[in-house]
Amino acid sequence: METELDCDALVIGGGVVGLTTAVALAERGVRVRLWTRDPAERTTSAVAGALWWPYRIEPVASARAWALRSLEVYEELAARPETTGVRMAEGVLGETALEDVGAWAATRLPGLRPSTAAEYPAGPGVWARLPLIDMPAHLPWLRSRLEAAGGVVETRTVADLAQVRAPVVVNCTGLGARELVPDPSVRPVRGQLVVVENPGIRTWTVSTGADGAMAYFFPQPGRLVLGGTADEDAWSLEPDPAVAEAIVRRCAALRPEIAGARVLEHRVGLRPARDAVRLERAALPGGRVLVHHYGHGGAGVTVAWGCAEEAARLAVG
């Protein structure tokens, strides 16, 4: 059954990519509706840490360009952290030498320097000041910015892209694109987090140990987010107690005070991985436009604004 819509563009998907894309369109004067299957707090984006840094995303050159544009926006938003959920925070990229960062970021982040032994005893690292986004605050702020620009958000599901009668449809369904398009190349990379009371840690750390296991902690208002995992093709959304214990143990090896922190909650999210982000224009029946915009892996927050602006240009010029 076809559905006629009173809008210029319909964005499908209410995670950070969908919301940011809808904002980019609405602030161009486009009449936008956004359909989301789940409220923002139940999307994969809500589970994210979320530190600005490209992670598990291809193609690399495009991802870096999108990330740098997003960095510009996040730096502006960090002037109002209580409202936007974005702030600039210092921390260590572990197991990384300064020359490993690459000129694309080093020239844009002048404060980069090798970390000291006191800052990162585990080995070489790079000290950086990067955007850290509090997603439970940022996602509602994005929605309010969209609505302030005239956008409408509705809880709706879509079974067939061709049946949606909007002049422009932007598919930001993430992992849902696997069934909706269908695109079997989209697959989950499961991430599990443990949220604890913050024992006074003010800097973030991202580490990969000798065994290749990730450990990271991000201070957020009123809590500390610990991670993490990257389990390919794992679909379970149930927290694994053994995995949670291992996450706390790895993080406590970096900062011993974490060991005694009270656990507040457990989170699980499925990153929508793909060999490369699909950002392209296609045709729908009747001369209508379809823009696919999914497959951002673990970097949706990092590239959101750069990607959204490109998707908007593809959609409406």
289 annotated binding-site participant: no
94 annotated binding-site participant: no
Q: How confident is the model at residue 2 (pLDDT cuts 50, 70, 90)?
A: very low
Quote the pLDDT of residue 4: 59
Strand, coil or helix: 42: helix
Q: Does some domain include residue 120?
A: no
Q: Does the structure show a pLDDT above 90 at 5?
A: no
Q: Does the structure show a pLDDT above 70 at 177?
A: yes
Q: How confident is the model at residue 280 (pLDDT cuts 50, 70, 90)?
A: very high
Q: How confident is the model at residue 163 (pLDDT cuts 50, 70, 90)?
A: confident
Q: Does some domain include residue 10?
A: yes
Write the pLDDT tens digit of every residue in 45-61.
Answer: 988 889 999 988 999 99
Q: Does some domain include residue 215?
A: no
Amino acid at 95: E
Strand, coil or helix: 105: helix
**Chain centre to alpha carbon of residue 176:** 16
Quote the pLDDT of residue 212: 80
Quote the pLDDT of residue 3: 52
- Per the rule left: phi > 0, alpha: psi between -120 and 50, beta: everything else, 101 is alpha
Answering whether pTM is above 0.85, one says yes
209 annotated binding-site participant: no
- Which parts of the chain are beta strand (E)? 3-4, 9-12, 32-36, 86-94, 113-114, 125-133, 152-155, 164-165, 168-171, 187-196, 204-208, 214-220, 223-227, 231-232, 263-273, 278-284, 288-294
Q: Does some domain include residue 170?
A: yes
Q: Does some domain include residue 20?
A: yes
Quote the pLDDT of residue 211: 78
The count of structural domains within the chain is 1
Quote the pLDDT of residue 161: 94
Strand, coil or helix: 82: helix
Q: Does the structure show a pLDDT above 80 at 1?
A: no
Rounded Cα distance, 57 and 213, in Å: 19
Write the pLDDT tens digit of every residue in 67-84.
Answer: 999 999 999 999 999 999
Q: Does some domain include residue 90?
A: no
299 annotated binding-site participant: yes
3-state helix, strand, coil in the chain (%, to 5): 35, 30, 35
Nearest Cα neighbor of 34 from 139, 181, 191, 107 is 139
Q: Does some domain include residue 193?
A: no
| Domain that includes residue 146, residue range | 1-85+134-186+274-317
Write the pLDDT tens digit of every residue in 214-247.
Answer: 999 999 999 999 999 999 999 999 999 999 999 9
Residue 304 near residue 312 (C-beta atoms within 8 A): no
| Rg over CA atoms, the chain | 20
Helices (H) and strands (E) counted in the chain, each on its own, are: 10, 17
300 annotated binding-site participant: yes
Q: Does some domain include residue 150?
A: yes
Dig out the tokens for 34 from the structure.
């956004």
Residue whose entry in the numeric block shows the structure tokens 């996602």: 139
Q: Does the structure show a pLDDT above 60 at 36?
A: yes
Residue 206 near residue 92 (C-beta atoms within 8 A): yes
Residue 192 near residue 44 (C-beta atoms within 8 A): no
More confident residue, 133 or 5: 133
The residue-averaged pLDDT of 11-37 equals 97
Name which of 19-23, 101-105, 128-132, 139-143 the model is least confident about: 101-105
Residue 24 near residue 309 (C-beta atoms within 8 A): yes
Q: Does the structure show a pLDDT above 90 at 40?
A: no
Average model confidence (pLDDT) for the chain? Answer: 95
Quote the pLDDT of residue 209: 79
CATH, residue 298: 3.40.50.720
